[in-house]
Amino acid sequence: MNEAQKSLILESSSRFLIPQGVKVSYGTAGFREDASILSSTVYRVGILAALRSLKTQSVIGVMITASHNKVSDNGVKIADPNGGMLSQHWEPFADELANAPSSQKLLQNSDFGGSIQVQYQQQQNSHLSKPISSVPSNRRILFAACGINHWLKFSSTMLCWSRPAEILLGRDTRPSGEALLEAARQGVTSIVGAVASDMGILTTPQLHWMVRARNKGIKASEQDYFEQLSNSFRCLMDLIPTGQSKFDGMNDKLVVDGANGVGGAKLQILHKLLNVLDIEVRNSSEDEGVLNDGVGADYVQKEKVAPRGFGSKDAGIRCASLDGDADRLVYFSVPPESNAPIDLVDGDKILSLFAVFIREQLSFLNEKEDIKNIHKPRLGIVQTAYANGASTNYLKHLGLEVNFTPTGVKYLHEKAADFDIGIYFEANGHGTILFSETFIEWLEVRSNKLSSGSKGSEAEKAALRLLAVSKLINQAVGDALSGVLLVEVILKHMGWSIHKWNELYHDLPSRQLKVKVADRTSVVTANAETVVVRPPGLQDAINTETVKYTQGRCFVRPSGTEDVVRVYAEASTQEAADTLANCVAKLVDQFLG
């Protein structure tokens, strides 16, 4: 084997030993812990990202952030070639690599005489296995570095690298970010030839956008990101119907809570570029507030209260809140009375607004066309069981196709990609719109045809709007900055105030609880986590209880990170929802002990 490569990993990894007793676990989108114990994890993720880059022959991203967590926490996420999250097939590798307890363990199982196998998985399920001794010696270390006790499954392209690993690094504004980014850089560069590019302080969605753009051969600097968003926004503004530029009885101003994170400062840059929106940013990272402390989308959505710096003085003004790394967005309005609750407009309502607008454009697109020759793009809505039942009923009433997945953005994103246009959002404000490449190509052809034969028609405008939306919305991942711009331009297009928007439907009262259990894996669910398969009898008991309540709905699911079972209940009144949740929590306790 190449001794220089082996020495490089051994030498660099010796600087990032795992703290005693620490074991990390890959969550929905990466690793997240107290920043003081993360250096070794982030270093190993750097190695993993380099391996992923070699495997895919693509640019990969590593983002240092803990999103909506407290400022003392930090974390690390990997952006795959399409800008999305790390492939789920690689998550076990991430866990095992991150928890390798020593430098030597990173290199264990390195019996290059042939005991470790590299399994090639070809298309049509054909298989070919070769001993690792057949792998060129300067590449064997990359397999050994994973320290995985079973065969590593890589496609045959792993053995045909034509370019070195290339990783884009980004971080948010956390004080621990700079040191952790350096740990990631050293992990990346411990693989011979790998290149790590520091893209600076970014929102998480910006880094995901950059990775996607680079792999599509598009210019991918932060300035390119701002220009694409601002140009697409201006295009949509120019296409607003005459007489719809003013909101229906609503102040034109938008006040945004930046969670004392990176998003506020980036939004201010966008605001200067656009110069057509009246936006005031509070709780920016340039202020002296504490990140995610009494501020941010997660706080506003869960607590249903206004963030710090907002009060009755803001009554009548549209307000929005980003989270710490600007991948979540919720809107709200503050009542005139200081003690009254806010009117929350969460991710379900943002999804509904986007769905209404997209549906309208699709109806214009094929208006007055020969019905036999119409291509009907498939619009799909994707939610989890946590979506409020009223939102699901509203969307179905519009005639839209609604699909459900297990909890987690990675599942929502994957399902949304099945449609010509897929829209997904969680209630917490994380979501986006995906446009298939095939649909974009068809739309461009349709737009060109309409511009030559039906210039100025509603169909042509609809085609142009949809193309602009596909460039404005971040198709790699949920993005609060692009989300704000799309919400604002759609509200102007519809002529709606935030109050009219919020009246699309009324949320059913709900309650969430969690029950501590000895072993959360005792609960097994199906049907997008809405039905309990094990233990036997629990689902029947839940059903018996749920039917006692008007508009009752209840499900339980095991936590992904701790030994608790989460309970969600809805009913026609808050009292009924609370009672149902408590009764089902007792059932969980009875069945699991």
Catalytic positions are 67
Task: Write down the residue that tokens 């800008």 correspond to.
Answer: 83
* Inter-residue contact 47 to 145 (CB < 8 Å): yes
Beta-sheet pairing, 524-526 with 531-534: antiparallel
Q: If DSSP codes are grouped into helix, strand and coil, which group holds residue 329? A: strand
Q: If DSSP codes are grouped into helix, strand and coil, which group holds residue 444? A: helix
Does 328 count as an annotated binding residue?
A: no
Q: Please give the radius of gyration of the chain, using alpha carbons only, rounded to the nearest integer.
A: 25
CB contact burial 99-117 (16+ within 10 A = b; e otherwise):
bbeebeebbebbebeeebe
Residues in Cβ contact with 456 at an 8 Å cutoff, skipping those fewer than 6 apart: none
Q: How far is CA 83 from CA 212, 406, 424, 476, in A?
A: 4, 21, 16, 5
Does 221 count as an annotated binding residue?
A: no
**Angle, vertex CA 338, rays to CA 336 and CA 339, nearest 5:** 120
Cis peptide before 101 (omega within 30 of 0): no
Residue type present at position 484: V
Extract the tokens encoding 583: 């009764």
Does 341 count as an annotated binding residue?
A: no
Q: Give dist(CA 84, CA 430) in Å, integer.
A: 13
Q: Give dist(CA 458, CA 361) in Å, integer.
A: 9
Residues in Cβ contact with 44 at an 8 Å cutoff, skipping those fewer than 6 apart: 13, 16, 97, 98, 100, 106, 187
Does 427 count as an annotated binding residue?
A: yes
The secondary element (H helix, E strand) that includes residue 257 is: strand 254-261
Beta-sheet pairing, 421-425 with 431-435: antiparallel
Does 557 count as an annotated binding residue?
A: yes
Does 327 count as an annotated binding residue?
A: yes
Q: Give dist(CA 509, CA 563) in Å, integer.
A: 27
Does 566 count as an annotated binding residue?
A: yes
Q: How far is CA 489 from CA 130, 234, 240, in A?
A: 56, 9, 8
Does 133 count as an annotated binding residue?
A: no
* Inter-residue contact 484 to 498 (CB < 8 Å): no
Does 323 count as an annotated binding residue?
A: yes
Q: If DSSP codes are grouped into helix, strand and coil, which group holds residue 307? A: coil
Q: Give dist(CA 32, CA 26) in Å, integer.
A: 8
Which has the closest alpha carbon to 32: 169, 209, 176? Answer: 176
Does 14 count as an annotated binding residue?
A: no
Does 34 count as an annotated binding residue?
A: no
Q: How far is CA 236 from CA 242, 469, 473, 492, 498, in A?
A: 13, 8, 12, 10, 19
Q: Quick one: 281 exposed, middle or buried, by C-beta within 10 A (0-12, 13-18, 19+)?
A: buried
Alpha-carbon torsion angle 488, 429, 354, 553, nearest 10: -140
Q: Give dist(CA 211, CA 205) in Å, integer.
A: 10
Residue type present at position 220: A
Q: Quick one: 261 exposed, middle or buried, by C-beta within 10 A (0-12, 13-18, 19+)?
A: buried
Beta-sheet pairing, 401-404 with 421-425: unpaired
* Inter-residue contact 334 to 310 (CB < 8 Å): yes
- Per the annotation, where are the binding residues for substrate? 426-428, 557-561, 566
- Per the annotation, where are the binding residues? 67, 323, 325, 327, 426-428, 557-561, 566
